Structure 1
Amino acid sequence: MQPRNVPTFAELIKDCHRSAVHLEMRDIYGVASEAEDFAEWQRLGTISAASVQRRQPWLDLVGETVRRGVVMRRARIVSVPVSEYIRYEHAGTYLNVQAGERVRWLPRRDAATLALPGADFWLFDDQLIRFGHFTGDGASAGHELTSDPDVVKLCNTAFEAVWERGVPHEGFTL
């Protein structure tokens, strides 16, 4: 499906019944919706109450989804030492965990022998992939959907391999 026709994440997650897994493989994201939050974290060195408030719609969506019985897992492959952006992500991940998301981190060196897709993705109910495409500086370049069984298998296998090797958020230190 072409990027302009891809439903929003909120629309996709509402049709999800069992699992939603997300693999992130970049060391920096330059997504416009996070710019204010990231700049504030850089100034303060902590996640502020205002930051929590800005994230509330996502946290509410995660909580509602998990309460419906959907298991939400996120795995992040990161270079070590980590980028400043990953430090920011790590600082706020406790909120995702509190909302019900399970999160693991995998140092890039430990992912070297894994077969991975070329883009970040969400996999819904082991049936539908939503690829996230990004520019070189991390800005969003749109999304793409596929339910091709071979692509779903590749992404599922990749995610589970990263998940197995990954370190739970609570145990991952920078």
Structure 2
Amino acid sequence: MTIRRARVISVPPSDYIRWEHMLTSQNVEAGEDVRWLPRDRAWDLMLPGADFWLFGNKLVMFNFCEGDGTEIPEEKSSNDPAVVARCPAAFEQVWERAIPHDQFRLP
């Protein structure tokens, strides 16, 4: 099983994103495939309004964070097929445009 993670980020990046980028090599070494997409390259994609985790194309869990990376304690999840179906399509669009971690340099 491959775990893929795509991060859509604002430029210039926050200190939190810089920190996250610095630590991502550990995720890659553990087997994750991580890509980065500057927000200005995602302007025409229909993306969910929050980060999300997709489990088996049956459950999606949304995660909310402040701009500085502070997690907002509210979590939402859905197993509604209509909600779940939109997330893989959004992810794949981001994935196609995103830059692999080993090639991505923060400005």
Q: TM-score, normalised by structure 1?
A: 0.57
1:119 and 2:63 correspond: no
8 Å contact kept, 2:63–2:76: yes
8 Å contact kept, 2:45–2:90: yes
Q: Alpha carbon RMSD of aligned pairs, Å?
A: 1.4
8 Å contact kept, 1:134–1:142: no
8 Å contact kept, 1:135–1:141: no
8 Å contact kept, 2:11–2:39: yes
1:166 and 2:98 correspond: yes
Pick closer, same or farther for the CA change 1:172–1:136 going to 2, 3 Å.
Answer: closer
Cα distance in 2 for residues equivalent to 1:125 and 1:71 = 12
2:40 is paired with a residue of what secondary structure? helix
8 Å contact kept, 1:75–1:105: yes
Which residue number corresponds to residue 131 of structure 1? Answer: 62
- CA-CA distance at 1:114 after TM superposition: 0.3
Deviates more, 1:138-147 or 1:123-132: 138-147
Q: Between the two proteins, what is the percent identity of the paired residues?
A: 53
Which residue number corresponds to residue 155 of structure 1? Answer: 87
- CA-CA distance at 1:136 after TM superposition: 6.4
Structure 2, unaligned stretches of length 5 or more? none
Which residue number corresponds to residue 91 of structure 1? Answer: 22
Higher helix share: 1
1:140 and 2:72 correspond: yes
Cα distance in 2 for residues equivalent to 1:97 and 1:134 = 23
Cα distance in 2 for residues equivalent to 1:170 and 1:136 = 24
Structure 1, unaligned stretches of length 5 or more? 1-69
Q: Deviations over 1:6-47 (max 9, x none)?
A: xxxxxxxxxxxxxxxxxxxxxxxxxxxxxxxxxxxxxxxxxx
Q: Deviations over 1:66-115 (max 9, x none)?
A: xxxx2211100011221111111110000000011110000000000000
- CA-CA distance at 1:169 after TM superposition: 0.2
What amino acid is the match of 1:119? A
Aligned residue pairs: how many?
105
